[in-house]
A and B are shown apart, each in its own frame.
Chain A
Amino acid sequence: MRRILVQVSKELSQTRRDRLSVALALLLPAILVILLGTAISLDVRSLPIVVQDLDQTPLSRELIDAFRASLSFQIVPLAPDRSPESALLSNRAKGALVIPARFERDFRRAAGVSVQMLVDATDSNTSTLVRGKAKAISVAFSAAHGRPAAVSDVSTEVRLWFNPGLDSRKFYGPGSFVLAMSIFPSLLAAIGLAREGEQKTILQVYVSSISAHEFLIGKILAGMVIGAAEWLLLLGISISLFGVGLVGDPSAFLTASVLYVFCGVSLGVLIGAAIPSQAAAVQALALVSFLLSMLLSGLIFPIENIPPALRWVSNLVPARYFIEVVRDALLRGGGWRAVWPAVLAIGAIGSLFYSLAWWRLRRMQLDL
């Protein structure tokens, strides 16, 4: 026990002395969370469009006003001698609304009437959103003028729960929190152990009769202390910046956080033990924890969209489970009954990493 504690205090002293470590532990994750949480947004706001009104009637102008009133679009002027296509080609606008001649007459006659929306689909995400918004506006417009666009027998009334405004900060904020918690604790742990190998101080450890478990647990506990500090800082940032807060019973979230930090630090220790070079260990970890957490965890892209052949990999990515827990804790508030399998999965993956790290170091000697 004493050897574990001395290991912890030694690691913490080293981290404190090393400016790079302090930056890695606190400054960089804070910047990452702020940047990612605010910069990524899939909301469409003030998208420039041009309008070609071939009808020039009060009703056509009303429709244009409906588009203008929407937060999603911003109408930019189109010179009378220019075609709407030219505005798309010159990138002055991302979309063009074309209202045909006799629009008002056909509308009043109850004949089917169409307006055209040309959309620049180079960015497929945005174009999908434009399409949806344009459709929503035209449906609302028809309804307002006493003309339900398509009457069906069953109508779906959608209500958005937990994030009624579909605020993307509330979606990406927790995601960036998880990403930062995935990267930095494991990075520090990997650097810490790789450095011992690189500078050969590991020999001093081997010379003493400390066991692999004592050595690893000491290293991991120290990493978890730093991880806890990060967690507090990043959670504070997320809550104050992204308009989220802890909802419901936080005990599942707390448990999952502890396990997740353990899991990340164990992965770091495993990589640091396997690769006794700081630079190489950092690269390996960047690949494993950053890319996998970013791409295969549902952080940004829904897991359902991952091709099935790759989807099983995401089952091994702990961030995938942690993000479930975090979104639940910050948005939904379901607590244990909603997320217990995820918490369990994080614990299991963490134990797997720890066991592998122990297996790598179990002899506590140079294996030449």
Chain B
Amino acid sequence: MTAPAPVVIRLRDLRKNYAAFEAVRGVDLDVRAGEIFGLIGPDGAGKTSIFHILGGVMPATSGEIEVLGLPARDARDSVGYLTQAFSLYVDLTVKENLRYIGALRRVSDAEIESRGDRYLRMFGMAEVPHRLAGQLSGGMKQKLALACALIAEPRILLLDEPTTGVDPVSRRQFWDALVRLSAGGMTILVATPYLDEAERCHRVALMHEGRIRQAGPPAAIRDSLHLRRLEVRAADLGRAEAVLAREPTLSDVQRFGDRLDVMVENAESGRVAVAAALKQAGFPPASIAEASPTLENAFVLLLRRLGGRLEVPDFPSSRAPVSLRDRAEIAGYGMNKRFGSFQAVQDVDIEVHPGEIYGLLGANGAGKTTTIKMLCGLSQPTSGVVELAGERKQLRSRSVRGVVGYMSQKFSLYDDLTVSENLDFFAGVYGVAAPERAAKKRWVIEFAGLTGHQDQLTGSLPGGWKQRVAFGAAILHEPRVLFLDEPTSGVDPLARRVFWRMINYFADRGTAILVTTHYLEEAEQCNRLGFMAGGRMVAEGSPTGVKQAQGGCVCVLGVDSPQRALDALRTAFDPWRMSMFGDHVHVIVDGDGKAEAARIRGILEGAGIALLDLQPQPYSLEDVFLALAARNAGAGP
């Protein structure tokens, strides 16, 4: 972005009303050619409305809209739009989808063929041209949808939450493809609830209640906080969080699986304040490390300033906290599952103790779902032993089901019942005693922020709200064991924080919790993590532990031409090791990075690319994930 590129999307005072509801309340936006521009914000902030308007599929209520200098509807032939729901024909094959969309957009048959092949190759999907779209994994579906959006070679690409429910490996590939397209001159406007993805945009805008609250490059937004982040590792995190949250000088305290993140204005004085507060509360000296704030920090703080709610009403518990026993509540030993000749799960051992939050991670098809099904008794292992809430034989018996809660992103609530009816139903099914029902129901409704809306049909709620009601329904009976299958997929960061408060609350009261997620920032909140690949458990440990155990690091390169640098490094490094974040290139390397750093310098020098900056950084969980998935790719069946 040296010379300012021309503005290709221009919005002035855009407004959109649905009956009495104002979804977009005066948005001004300029997006320049070749930019990746991120639109982030909580559910219901008006992002999808803006996309519909820019895509020319919905008229605005008022305001100026220019796309490539034209009204949005007349610019449709130059715009590719990937809508939030997978906009694919599930009963057509990959090729047929491309052909249909291509012909709709007046691309000649020969062009469809050659471009289709090119994009399928680019996205690693060349082998599946005749598979039905409905049978593709979530990641592949999204890549196909992207290929369909690209087939007309649009100059602008609109992507509305393109990676929701997509595993980290596919997400990384998806974003690598976007970066390449943008380097080729395409303008990309993308909405995402994942703030690690927003870091890869050139500029982002934070939206809230129909307005843009802040916009700029991610680094500028992070810096605008004028805050530093301290990572505090202490013994009893629950109590430490409570202690630090009372300190007025600390801006924000967030609890993760094995650490607290504390936002402070000044690193030094903050460090002193944290240490003093902890000491006063009788904690042994804690380790306090300084780190730079993330976009997520910025986002959460901004939303809180705008009146976003982080407080959770007190849960009307009717059960005494379970004393922490030594016996695992969820356990599987030597579990195997075979479907015909396909070994879906192989020799997996897993133990989740009372009060523990265990995160099960893995790419699509790694065997996570099968493992969970076996652990909660929905599927019989081919061999091995499963123990659930102390029971080994009758996992589906009434007494076991009465102490197990299950929430999945797919099946959760009846769309055609009201919120209140859903809760009544689940309270009845789980045998919640009548005297407690009213209070618990009221709690869920308040927790979900739906006070006064409890008679709304569940199907008409936005995804994030539905997820909260589903969570509420799963914990009405205060289970001893809780399975959460992607509980926060598609939920905005603030809501996610609220979710995790409750998850921690239950863990503190002795519930054993098993969580799956594709969102690795979220995995940091777990006490222990298990990575699955090819049906095996390939790594296990605390978030910090797995990062250290991988024995590698990430070299962050500041270069004058990231795309050329990437091309030059491709000869020496596997593709999964490299990706572009804005104007930086990340390279995952083994060892402490010194030897590899020298090698990188050599390669870039040979290619005539100026290296401005090279910094080794510790692994993020995402890097660990990618490394494990790549290393075990050949190991599976």
Contacts and interface: CB of A to CB of B under 8 A. Distances in A.
Interface stretch (B51-59, B178-186, B482-490): B51-59
Given A199-B85, A365-B58, A204 B92 contact: no
Interface stretch (B94-102, B208-216, B396-404, B444-452): B94-102
A366 interface: yes
A7 B105 CA distance: 12
A90 interface: no
Contact of B56 (A2, A365, A368): A365
B56 A207 contact: yes
Contacts of A18: 91
B103 interface: yes
A206 B51 CA distance: 13
Contacts of A159: none
Interface stretch (A9-17, A43-51, A254-262, A316-324): A9-17
A177 to B, nearest CB: 30
A312 to B, nearest CB: 37
A204 B58 contact: no
Interface in A196-236: 199-201, 203-210
Contacts of B148: 204
Contacts of A207: 55-57, 76, 79-81
B77 interface: yes
Contacts of B55: 203, 206-207
A251 B131 CA distance: 44
A17 B84 CA distance: 25
Interface string A233-255: 00000000000000000000000
Contacts of B57: 203, 206-207, 365-366
Interface in A301-333: none
A201 B89 contact: yes
A200 B88 CA distance: 9
B58 A368 contact: yes
Contacts of B80: 207
Given A199-B90, A200-B85, A203-B87, A6 B56 contact: no
Interface in B271-287: none
Contacts of A362: none
A131 interface: no
B177 interface: no
Nearest to A365: B57
A3 interface: yes
A366 B52 contact: yes
B104 interface: yes
Contacts of A368: 18, 58
A210 B100 CA distance: 12
Contact of B58 (A205, A210, A366): A366
B1 to A, nearest CB: 28
A280 to B, nearest CB: 12
Contact of B103 (A2, A203, A206, A365): A2
Contacts of B336: none
Most buried by B among A207, A210, A365: A207
B35 to A, nearest CB: 21
B132 interface: yes
Contact of B89 (A3, A14, A210): A14
A206 to B, nearest CB: 4
Interface residues of A, number: 23
B23 to A, nearest CB: 9
A3 B77 contact: no
Contacts of A204: 81, 83, 87, 101, 104, 148
Contacts of A2: 103, 106
A18 B106 CA distance: 27
A368 B132 CA distance: 32
Interface residues of B, number: 33
A63 B105 CA distance: 82
Interface string B102-138: 0111100000000000000000000000001000000
Nearest to A18: B91
A203 B89 CA distance: 12
B470 to A, nearest CB: 22
B92 A14 contact: yes
A295 to B, nearest CB: 31
Nearest to B103: A6
Most buried by A among B59, B103, B148: B103
Contacts of B152: 208
Nearest to B112: A6
Contacts of A200: 83-85, 87
A208 B76 contact: yes
Contacts of B77: 208-209
A362 to B, nearest CB: 13
Contacts of A205: 104
Nearest to A4: B103
Interface in A144-179: none
Contacts of A203: 55, 57, 81, 83, 87
B129 to A, nearest CB: 14
Contact of A6 (B18, B88, B99): B99
Given A17-B132, A203-B87, A207-B57, A6 B92 contact: no
Interface in A1-59: 2-3, 6-7, 10, 13-14, 17-18
Given A206-B57, A207-B57, A210-B104, A201 B88 contact: yes
Contacts of B101: 204, 208
Interface in B36-93: 52, 55-59, 73, 76-77, 79-81, 83-85, 87-92
Nearest to B23: A368
A6 B106 CA distance: 10
B87 A201 contact: yes
Nearest to B73: A365
A217 B58 CA distance: 23
A209 B76 contact: yes
Contacts of B105: 208-209
Contact of A14 (B76, B91, B103): B91
Contacts of A3: 103-104, 106
Contacts of B56: 206-207, 365
A17 B76 contact: no
A207 B83 CA distance: 10
A10 B92 contact: yes
A365 B55 CA distance: 10
B81 A10 contact: no
B104 A365 contact: no
Contacts of B90: 199
A99 B87 CA distance: 79
A11 B106 CA distance: 18
A365 B132 CA distance: 27
A203 B83 CA distance: 8
A82 B100 CA distance: 78
Contacts of B106: 2-3
B89 to A, nearest CB: 6
B104 A13 contact: no
B467 to A, nearest CB: 20
A278 B80 CA distance: 27
B328 to A, nearest CB: 42
A111 B89 CA distance: 84
A321 to B, nearest CB: 35
A2 B81 CA distance: 22
A344 B90 CA distance: 40
B58 A10 contact: no
Interface string B145-172: 0001000100000000000000000000
14 contacts: A3-B103, A3-B104, A6-B104, A14-B89, A14-B92, A200-B83, A200-B87, A201-B88, A204-B81, A204-B87, A204-B101, A209-B77, A365-B59, A366-B58
What are the 3 A-B residue pairs with the smallest beta carbon separation, nearest first?
A6-B103, A208-B104, A206-B57
Given A3-B103, A10-B100, A208-B101, 19 more contacts: A2-B103, A6-B99, A13-B92, A14-B92, A17-B92, A17-B132, A200-B84, A200-B85, A200-B87, A201-B88, A201-B89, A203-B83, A204-B81, A204-B83, A204-B101, A207-B56, A208-B77, A210-B104, A366-B58
